[in-house]
């Protein structure tokens, strides 16, 4: 059973009648409910307002795939939780960043770039094309599929070149965008998926729920979580695998830690 946690900042659901009307249980509630209908997946939720944003270390230890949605409150996410999430990814937790989470702290940290883009909130049509029809994230999808109303995101999208581009978006207003991108950071699989503006019912669409189910399965790394993802162990000379004698100058004493 793949254990997914759907994290949401859960801000516009509190502040906006429009958003609450579409997502009475929150975006997190909508996505988790959909994932809980998927064979082999069990989903729970966490929000910004929970203690430690709902992501204490022991919960991350028990999370196979984290799904992240944020927009208005990126800056309210604590650096400690951001670092903890990124370390869990390096250790093997899968992570899926949705829509406006392109500016989420852990996404920016994992990418190392500005993650910026252009945008327009016009409720225009988005048509999504599958570029890799044999990719597990595209399993069972029609090609293309459409969203009647979405926010537009335009290029340039300030991310590193991905391992794989899985989706492209065509927008009614004239833009194109790389809408599904895969990365790997340490042992963790990372997927960015573009759609999901909170004023439209995107996560209620079966085709989008199918993408998320596929992405959860794809992002899941069944290996045991790696330990000590920041460790930089010294290998003493006497433990070298080939015969070796000390030569030349030296800064470190035996068994000493390296610098950071």
Pick between residue 52 and residue 124 the one whose CB is nearest to its own copies.
124
Question: Which residue, 39, 35, 40, 109, is CA-closest to 66?
Answer: 35
Question: How far is residue 95's CA from residue 189's CA, in Å, rounded to a whole number?
Answer: 6
Pick between residue 51 and residue 255 the one whose CB is nearest to its own copies.
255
Least spacing, CB of residue 85 vs its own copies, in Å: 12
Question: How far is residue 252's CA from residue 31's CA, in Å, rounded to a whole number?
Answer: 52
Pick between residue 24 and residue 158 the one whose CB is nearest to its own copies.
158
Q: Taking CB under 8 A as the criterion, which residues in 166-185 touch its own copies?
A: 168-178, 183-185
Pick between residue 51 and residue 246 the one whose CB is nearest to its own copies.
246
Say whether residue 40 binds its own copies (CB under 8 A).
no
Residue 167 pairs with which residues in a beta bridge? 130, 180
Least spacing, CB of residue 66 vs its own copies, in Å: 16
Phi, psi at residue 127, to the nearest 5°? -115, 125
Binding piece for its own copies, criterion CB under 8 A, among 17-25, 28-36, 50-58, 204-212: 17-25
Least spacing, CB of residue 245 vs its own copies, in Å: 8
Burial of residue 3 (CB within 10 Å: 0-12, 13-18, 19+) is: middle
Say whether residue 206 binds its own copies (CB under 8 A).
no
SS3 (DSSP) at 64: coil
Pick between residue 44 and residue 120 the one whose CB is nearest to its own copies.
120
Say whether residue 258 binds its own copies (CB under 8 A).
yes
Say whether residue 251 binds its own copies (CB under 8 A).
yes
Pick between residue 44 and residue 172 the one whose CB is nearest to its own copies.
172
Binding piece for its own copies, criterion CB under 8 A, among 39-47, 51-59, 205-213, 227-235: 227-235
Give the C-alpha distances (Å, rounded to integers) separating 62 from 49, 59, 88.
20, 5, 10
Least spacing, CB of residue 246 vs its own copies, in Å: 5
Phi, psi at residue 224, to the nearest 5°? -55, 145
SS3 (DSSP) at 249: coil
Say whether residue 75 binds its own copies (CB under 8 A).
yes
Residue 94 pairs with which residues in a beta bridge? 65
In 63-215, the DSSP E strands lie at 65-69, 94-98, 118-130, 145-154, 164-171, 176-185, 188-193
Question: How far is residue 39's CA from residue 37's CA, in Å, rounded to a whole number?
Answer: 7
Binding piece for its own copies, criterion CB under 8 A, among 29-37, 43-51, 58-66, 240-248: 240-248
Contact flags string 78-117 toward its own copies, x per CB under 8 A: --------x---xxx-------x--x-----xxxxxx-xx
């Amino acid at each position: 059973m793949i254990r997914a946690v759907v994290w949401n900042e859960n801000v516009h659901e509190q502040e906006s009648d429009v958003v609450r009307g579409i997502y009475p249980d929150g975006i997190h509630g909508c996505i988790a409910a959909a994932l809980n209908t998927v064979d082999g997946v069990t989903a729970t939720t966490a929000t910004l307002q929970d203690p430690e944003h709902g992501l204490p270390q022991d919960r991350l230890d028990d999370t196979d795939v984290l799904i992240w949605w944020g927009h208005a409150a990126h800056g309210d996410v604590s650096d400690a939780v951001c670092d903890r999430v990124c370390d869990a990814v390096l250790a093997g937790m899968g992570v899926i960043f949705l829509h406006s989470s392109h500016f989420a702290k852990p996404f920016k940290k994992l990418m190392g770039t500005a993650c910026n883009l252009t945008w327009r909130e016009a409720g225009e049509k988005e048509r999504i094309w599958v570029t890799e029809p044999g990719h597990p994230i595209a399993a069972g999808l029609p090609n293309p599929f459409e969203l009647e109303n979405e926010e537009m995101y335009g290029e340039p999208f300030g991310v590193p070149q991905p391992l794989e581009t899985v989706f492209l978006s065509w927008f009614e207003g004239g833009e194109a965008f790389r809408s599904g991108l895969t990365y790997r950071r340490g042992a963790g699989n990372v997927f960015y998926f573009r759609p999901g503006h909170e004023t439209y019912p995107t996560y209620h669409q079966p085709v989008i729920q199918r993408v998320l189910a596929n992405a959860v399965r794809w992002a899941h790394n069944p290996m045991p979580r790696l330990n000590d993802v920041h460790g930089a162990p010294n290998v003493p000379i006497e433990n070298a695998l080939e015969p070796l004698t000390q030569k030349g100058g030296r800064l470190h004493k035996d068994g000493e830690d390296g610098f950071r």
